[in-house]
Amino acid sequence: MIAGADFVVWDGLVPANRHAGVFRGRMHHSLKRGHTIDGLADSVDILRRAGEEPLRTGSIDAVDRSSWFTIFLNSTATAVVAYCGGRRPTTMESAVLSQTGWQVMRR
């Protein structure tokens, strides 16, 4: 973010365990296709243990869009509870992924 990354924190609070369920599904989906997301397994565990704690969700995109992160913040957006993300696939990786049925979501 110091280098000028784009970021957003969305309005609204969602219970941590609801995020855990959604992101656990994303983790299994990506693992089935041989794709890993840095910090995702740890984030799912942290979110599951946080139970009903209300969290805000945000996103950070590198200036050159080479990497992205999803962040989970406490209800006042003053502390990061968990995060996951990493480098986006290159064009060549995207072509290989599309041939295997994997789709990369772009914002």
Q: Tokens at residue 62, please?
A: 């590198």
pTM value surpassing 0.75: no
47: three-class secondary structure by DSSP: helix
pLDDT score, position 68: 87
SS3 content of the chain, % helix, strand, coil (to 5): 35, 30, 35
Please report, in tens digits, the pLDDT of each residue of the chain (107 residues total). Answer: 556 678 899 999 999 999 998 889 888 888 888 877 888 889 999 999 999 999 999 999 988 888 889 999 999 999 999 999 988 766 555 544 444 444 444 33
Domain ranges of the chain: 6-99
Tell me the β-bridge partners of 72: 57, 82
